[in-house]
Amino acid sequence: MINENLRQALTEVRPLPIIYTVDDLDFMPEDTNRYELIGGKLFVSRAPHLDHQLLIGNLMFQFRLYLEKNPSGIIVTTPGVIFSPKDAVIPDLVFAAHETVKKSVAGEDERFEGKFKAAPELMIEILSYGKQDVKRDRIYKRTLYGDYGVKEYWVVDGLFNAIEVYRLEESGLNLFKRFEIYETIETPLLPGFSLKLTEIFKF
């Protein structure tokens, strides 16, 4: 007869969580969703809202104005960034210095050709407002980016017209400041760069 303690233990067994790797991403549906891995956990995001895309466009415009006069690197939208077999993300915007691009984009595996395999200097996410999305952007991605040496991380809050700037310290990416609508962002990554938030949230 089965021991009662053993019976209880067996009924409490829970299936182990599935751990995904970048190889599994090849089998995801080819649709409008965004599939990302953080610590082997799969995050699926739906196609972005129109406001989300307008914010990206406004940010791109301001960065390009600067980079045309100061060609220190590149600014790109939704690139693949593969930090490890269990950590692969698609940030909304990335700034990478030319040296970083040369070191990180080339690779032996043609499946990952053209993707970042080292930390860009700056990564930007437009905040989505589902509970899981907010946790992903403000906690999981911030922790991940800090662990891999991203120097600065911006979270753009379109609901409140603000941008949270996190900067890398010994303990990881920590909040430097939350910039509000009438403020201006400057960053040591881009000398002379000045971003007025009124230019970003003006649609």
Whole-number pLDDT of residue 108: 60
Cα separation, 54 vs 116, in Å, equals: 24
- How far apart (Å, rounded) are the C-alpha atoms in residues 24 and 86? 10
CA 203 – CA 195 distance, rounded (Å): 16
Q: What is the pLDDT of residue 12?
A: 57
What pLDDT is attached to residue 129? 81
Residue 136's pLDDT is what? 94
Q: Other CB atoms closer than 10 Å to residue 163's CB: what's the count?
A: 25
Residue pair 121/100 in contact (Cβ under 8 Å)? The answer is: yes
Low-confidence ranges of the chain (pLDDT < 50): 1, 10
- Relative to beta strand 152-157, strand 122-126 is parallel
Coil/strand/helix, residue 156: strand
Provide the pLDDT for residue 107.
61
Residue 128: what pLDDT?
86
pLDDT given for residue 68 in this prediction: 98
- Distance between CA atoms of 123 and 151, rounded to whole angstroms? 9
Residues 119/83, Cβ–Cβ less than 8 Å = yes
- What is the value of pTM for the model shown? 0.89
d(CA 190, CA 139): 25
If one looks up domain 48-200 in CATH, what number appears? 3.90.1570.10
> Hey, where are the domains in the chain?
48-200
Residue 17 is predicted with a pLDDT of: 77
